[in-house]
Chain A
Amino acid sequence: KAGVTQTPRYLIKTRGQQVTLSCSPISGHRSVSWYQQTPGQGLQFLFEYFSETQRNKGNFPGRFSGRQFSNSRSEMNVSTLELGDSALYLCASSPVGDLGNTIYFGEGSWLTVV
């Protein structure tokens, strides 16, 4: 069974640009969530999507957005990039069910803003 796949793995963008990151969850998983990891702030929750609807959102500005498609694949977008957006962006998927379900993470997308 394929794991969570994120693309691209590495990218460099310039301040003011926008970026779109893609995530393919494990087959059959309908919940997809996104996290940002930086050395200073650690791992922080961005948002979660289920059945194409955003169910939870972390404390991030509106420049950070996402969506989920009918096949459960998800994208996140960051507009007007700032230097502080340089981070590892992680996607995670999980099956529906109780709180005991495992959440599976992808390898992440490394974003550098210059």
Chain B
Amino acid sequence: DAKTTQPNSMESNEEEPVHLPCNHSTISGTDYIHWYRQLPSQGPEYVIHGLTSNVNNRMASLAIAEDRKSSTLILHRATLRDAAVYYCILRRSGSARQLTFGSGTQLTVLP
């Protein structure tokens, strides 16, 4: 099964950009890259997803390496409300709605 590797924790200052990296060297051609985040005492929340091209939405941007072996979630201006655990997940072919969560990155935003 394709696996992702993320740093355990990162810190950012409020109102500065944050780049959260994810490595997925065994990704297959049909795996989508999804990012979810989980705020304390809440269920995971969808952030963004992509396949090959960079993606932008109102929450974040997703930059995908040309070889697709890594990706970066970009929060353009971190706020205190962005403090959460961020999960980078590959949607596996054949198990379309089964998400395999790693340990994620705990993002701390400093005021």
Q: Mark A residues whose CB is within 8 Å of B.
A: 4, 31, 33, 35, 42-45, 48, 50, 55-56, 58, 90, 92, 94, 98-108
Asked if residues B42 and A100 are in contact (CB atoms below 8 Å), the reply is: no
Main secondary structure of the interface of A (DSSP, over half): strand
Residue B91 interfacial (CB < 8 Å): yes
In angstroms, Cα B28 to Cα A28, docked, is: 30
CB-CB under 8 A from B104, the residues of chain A are 42
Asked if residues B101 and A106 are in contact (CB atoms below 8 Å), the reply is: no
Of listed A55, A103, A107, residue having the most chain B CB within 10 A: A103
Asked if residues A104 and B46 are in contact (CB atoms below 8 Å), the reply is: yes
Smallest Cβ distance from B47 to chain A, in angstroms? 10
The verdict on A99 contacting B100 (CB below 8 Å), with A43-B44, A107-B42 known, is no
A45-B98, A100-B91 known, 6 other contacts, Cβ within 8 Å: A33-B99, A43-B87, A92-B99, A103-B97, A105-B36, A105-B44
Smallest Cβ distance from B62 to chain A, in angstroms? 12
CB-CB under 8 A from B36, the residues of chain A are 105
Residue B51 interfacial (CB < 8 Å): yes
In angstroms, Cα B101 to Cα A90, docked, is: 13
Q: 6 closest pairs, A vs B, by CB?
A: A105-B43, A43-B101, A99-B91, A102-B46, A99-B32, A105-B44
Asked if residues A103 and B99 are in contact (CB atoms below 8 Å), the reply is: yes
Q: Which of B32-88 contact A (CB under 8 A)?
A: 32, 34, 36, 42-46, 49, 51, 87
CB-CB under 8 A from A102, the residues of chain B are 46, 49
CB-CB under 8 A from A105, the residues of chain B are 36, 43-45
